[in-house]
Chain A
Amino acid sequence: MELSTIKDAFDRVAKKQRLSSSKAQEVIDQVGREIEQALTKMHSVHDSTSSSDQKSILMELNSKLNEMGPLKQLEGSQKELNVALSKYAKLLEKSFNPDISKAYRNVDFDTHTVNQIIAGHFYRRGLFDLGDCFINESGESEATYLKSPFLEMYQILEAMKCRNLEPALNWATTNCEKLMQNRSSLELKLHRLQFVEILQKGTRADALTYARTYLAPFASRHMAEIQKLMGCLLWAGRLDCSPYAEFLSPTHWEKLAEELTQQFCCLLGQSFESPLSVVIAAGVQGLPTLLKLANVMASKKQEWQAMKQLPVPVDLGSEFQFHSIFVCPVSRDQGSEENPPMLMPCGHVLCKQSIVKLSKSSTRTFKCPYCPLEATVAVCRQLYF
């Protein structure tokens, strides 16, 4: 699809429209002029008694108009415009997929669920007014439960934007155990940022007190970090001239805000990206393949509606790979609990059923389909991805 061709075709349409419009103006002017000429002729006739003068002027006007054929002129330019219009429409149909709803399945697709998902999407993006307006209009009053957790998150983030770390620190301290479980050093990073702030704005003594209270607990696990921060004390108020100047960089704030969002969502059992955006993005990548499939299956509507698994793979980017999918190279079956992937001594992996089939009775040796090495079922190990 070449956008430049389409743009050119549209420019032609616009041009024909302008031509048609100016033609119409021209024709109206012409007709107007003829009528006005007839009017002036009428006014110049002094003899008001004979009606034949008016009539002859009118008849002359009529024949002039007929000769001019204004309607025909209008039609002419309109025809050209219509040709350009239909060409553009055809080009659009050719360059784009004219009906993407062909891939839609008429199955139970509950509007309430979709509305709840949308409400959740707005709230997690911090669009609280929008979310409320939506819930109002759609009548999905139950969806308000999604609001409060994200409200808290945005309050913390808003405070951080104003360089106020208190809400963030409070949250981090309250959830320090879970954060540790997630192997996140968020609490330390927040304290570090606060320490640097105090160092820049307050006194050395304040910073020291802060360090003693809040940084000391982290000493055992993050000695190197603490040592660096202690070093900063020597440059209180002049940190930008110190070897530690990079601590002042605003990117720390941005990165920390992102990490806080990540951890917050994680603790809520939510994903970092809005799931709605992820599914739409996956849909954008998958729809072309599904449309091709729907086309091929156009005559088998029933099969299309009822299928349990797509018959063709849909290629998605690696960012959509959330699970390990093992496909046995021999049987093309997907790995599952009943049919797990098994590692052979040669390093190749087949699914259990394929191995059982190859060994014919699970006691004989069999040759790996990919290399000359032989193995028995017993030495094959189950893999866990």
Chain B
Amino acid sequence: MESLPNGDSTAVAAAATAASIPSSRLTHLAESLKLEHQFLRVPFEHFKKSMRANHRIVEKEMSAVISSVAEAADRDMSKEEAVHHLTSLVSRLQGLKRKLEEGNKTENLQAQRCRARLDHLESAGTESLSEWNSTRVKRILVDYMLRLSYYDTAIKLAESSNMQQDLVDIDVFHEARKVIDALQNKEVGPALAWCAENKSRLKKSKSIFEFQLRLQEFIELVRADNNLRAITYARKFLSSWGATHMKELQHVMATLAFRSNTECPKYKVLFEPRQWDYLVEQFKQEFCKLYGMTLEPLLNIYLQAGLSALKTPFCYEDDCTKEDPLSQESFRKLASSLPFSKQHHSKLVCYITKELMDTENPPLVLPNGYVYSTKALEEMAKKNNGKVTCPRTGLVCNYSELVKAFIS
């Protein structure tokens, strides 16, 4: 495990001694912070997006104004015309200034959010760890809600317990919500607009989402028996994709020959409403990729890791302690296809105190082979005239009859 590099270690160590966090927890903490890439990346991507969009507006307007002047200089205008022309350019620039100011405000808020999140990560070493951890659980749950489109719950959860709004991505998902709602209503408009907005980045990642949207629109035209319009549509929007995705294109174009009530399985599937659900899933994936989010909800990732780390054959026994999450049926079900954990060294837990039995609290063996911790048995002996009773078998014996076990 890596140790903290010099720069921060003194500050964190000082804070740690103040908060008396043992060093093993410190390393755990440092490692757990490294898992928070999405936490920082999403607002950053949002920030970049706003900046890009605002810059494009400025570039476009400025370039339009300049070329307008150039064009006017070439023409022959009357005085009124020229004055009118220039005045309109001035007001256009004023409008641009206002837009720029507004855009700036948004950018500042987003920069603030990025900073707030960095501050939040920093506070993990200094403020109450249990509170920070419980905020993390909430963040993970909000992420889950947003991914599965449970927006009301996400908002409610974020508002409960006054979690800082800066720590969750609810507004990022607003734009996703519009697209998803439209797709569920069988409309591709907002989705196509989204593709246009993010054209260059989607192209960089070789996304075919726009292609898939266009294909679906084509199929809808065929479904409505608008074959001529479908063909025009294909010519306009699908042909450019032919170079790279000819097979898919041909497959879908063939729906012209089959009608929407075809029984042929290969083509029937293309007409099913399920295709729209598939588009929604595709959009969610593209959206998450664009913002640097993991493709799976954070909750699932942490659950799988935790379940696997906790899973032992003993968890599935009937007398498994209820404190173990894997004693619950739902958790057992989730963990069923996950690998068991592995141990290289013995780790023993006293049946009575639930504490670890190690060199400071060594295990003692009763004459019947049952083992409990020294602490538990000492206390029991003190209260019972040097006698101990095995809580599981009822056997009574003297403390002096106990034997120490040496387990590495």
Residues on A with beta carbons closer than 8 Å to the beta carbon of B38? 100
Residues on A with beta carbons closer than 8 Å to the beta carbon of B36? 96
Residues on A with beta carbons closer than 8 Å to the beta carbon of B315? 322-323
Shortest CB–CB separation between residue B89 and chain A, in angstroms?
Answer: 5
| Pairs of residues from A and B, 10 with the lowest C-beta to C-beta distance, nearest first | A283-B306, A275-B325, A286-B309, A283-B302, A282-B306, A322-B324, A96-B37, A279-B306, A283-B305, A107-B337
Query: In whole angstroms, how far apart are the Cα atoms of A172 and B81 in the complex?
Result: 92
Question: A65-89 vs B: 1/0 string, CB under 8 Å?
Answer: 1000011001000100100010011
Residues on A with beta carbons closer than 8 Å to the beta carbon of B405? 343, 347-349, 383
A223: interface (CB < 8 Å): no
Of the candidates B7, B55, B296, B345, the one whose C-beta lies within 8 Å of that of A101 is: B296
Of the candidates B37, B76, B114, the one whose C-beta lies within 8 Å of that of A10 is: B114
Contact A349 B157 (CB under 8 A): no
Residues on A with beta carbons closer than 8 Å to the beta carbon of B334? 109-110, 113-114, 117
Residues on B with beta carbons closer than 8 Å to the beta carbon of A272? 323
Of A187-195, A249-257, A306-314, the one touching chain B: A306-314
A381: interface (CB < 8 Å): yes
Return 20 A-B CB contacts under 8 Å, by A number: A10-B114, A39-B83, A55-B77, A58-B82, A70-B62, A71-B62, A92-B37, A95-B34, A101-B301, A107-B338, A130-B157, A265-B322, A273-B323, A279-B306, A279-B310, A309-B340, A310-B341, A326-B407, A332-B344, A347-B403
Closest residue on chain A to residue B355 by CB atoms: A318
Closest residue on chain B to residue A3 by CB atoms: B122
Of B233-241, B255-263, B266-274, B365-373, the one touching chain A: B365-373
Contact A287 B100 (CB under 8 A): no
Question: B305-324 vs A: 1/0 string, CB under 8 Å?
Answer: 11111101111000011111
Which of the listed residues A133, A288, A370 has the most CB atoms from chain B within 10 Å of its own CB? A288
Contact A54 B77 (CB under 8 A): yes
Query: In whole angstroms, how far apart are the Cα atoms of A9 and B25 in the complex?
Result: 27
Which of the listed residues B25, B59, B63, B351 has the most CB atoms from chain A within 10 Å of its own CB? B59
A6: interface (CB < 8 Å): yes
Contact A42 B86 (CB under 8 A): yes
A356: interface (CB < 8 Å): no
A45: interface (CB < 8 Å): yes
Query: In whole angstroms, how far apart are the Cα atoms of A297 and B291 in the complex?
Result: 27
Of the candidates B89, B304, B323, the one whose C-beta lies within 8 Å of that of A283 is: B304
Summed over the interface, the residue pairs from A and B with CB atoms below 8 Å come to a total of 390
Contact A105 B322 (CB under 8 A): no
Interface residues of B in 22-67 (CB under 8 A from A): 24-25, 28, 30-38, 40-41, 44, 48, 51, 55, 58-59, 62-63, 65-66
A284: interface (CB < 8 Å): yes
A329: interface (CB < 8 Å): yes
Contact B339 A24 (CB under 8 A): no
Q: Decide: A275 near B37, CB < 8 A? Known: A113-B333, A286-B305.
A: no
Other A-B contacts than A35-B69, A334-B313, 7 sampled, CB-CB below 8 A, are: A61-B69, A93-B37, A107-B337, A134-B150, A265-B322, A279-B307, A313-B342
Contact A24 B58 (CB under 8 A): yes
Q: Decide: A288 near B347, CB < 8 A? Known: A43-B83, A282-B310, A283-B301.
A: no
B229: interface (CB < 8 Å): no
Query: In whole angstroms, how far apart are the Cα atoms of A25 and B54 in the complex?
Result: 12
Contact B65 A31 (CB under 8 A): yes
